[in-house]
Structure 1
């Protein structure tokens, strides 16, 4: 199966989630993250790995901040700019933010995007290049508790980072971890809700692509939820501040 990060597959997942979101929990997850790291209306926000744009738009609506999203997939960026014209979306590699002509940012969010980045340290080095001296980061993402078992399950790429990596890589680039919120049980509940939505809309979703594609996607996410239940995979919100 083509990677779920392709535009067509992200669009299929968005139909299940009921909005252009690329992460579990949808707006509930955004509200949770904003309860820990929320920008002021006068601040500028970067959504790193912005996907189809709904998360960046929700952050802008909920906070009044100016939001710019960056995503490697140019087709997703084109869609987001068309769908959410009040936000700005730019195609580009998150590890090369310094080359994109971005404004200086006050807050950086990454919602289930850094797990796919092989060089986590390069991501945080790039964040330094666009962030001001008081910048904060919120990373909402998967955590690999058992990398070998996760690789055997084959439901996510082998780049999912461990808890230690999520602390050490940012620190080497001048970012201090200011908090960790365990979201293991939340992820289990969110993926349960996701699978229930798939089952409720099986006929429509199967017709949108094909019944075989539907079954393959459902198995992938059922396997992911099982990894969460077994403690092989987890979820967490990590927050960071620059140089504190």
Structure 2
């Protein structure tokens, strides 16, 4: 698959953050969601990077908060975070750490990282928009490992019950999680079948194919909430990281950094 220039630049920035931080970072999952977020922010969200507190903006909540490097990289690419600011990533006193800290001026809609928390908040924001007759849409991204959490399934049930046609859940389905192969921990294979009875509009796509992602985002809600199951590769774009769970959380030394950059 050809990688877009935007997605390639985001991946380079992720590598920069990981290397220059000098500490272990969540590289694998950050790389698997790059294409999902690139298409979302470039082609889908009603969002003004020059006015991130605009009340009518669409909201994006990163529920799998440990993959925030991908979000930071997109914000730097679009001028919402400056080059100088992102150099403080993971340093003492920085606004930018291993998980999102709510900061609307820098695009972060909420603090997240406690798995299952972000999707629950996103659901509440979508419901509030309906009650207040606001037109903005809400998007949230959860991980396949995060789907082990009961609070995620409570959110699935409630979103299906409420039929919020302003609410999209994206599942980063990369098949791995912190403790290993997801199928050996809690097997969530065939998610489409498992979720079909909840009353969603469900679309399953290649999470690295920008055309498929764009079409999925634009599928009509048909009076329901929407789930996009994005089948991805953990560590996508860097051969020695792809499907290698050692890179769920690891330190990027110079030799590996140079190798990864050369691949991109």
* Structure number with higher helix proportion: 1
Indicate the structure with greater strand content: 1
Q: Which has the higher contact order (CA 8 A, sep 6+)?
A: 2
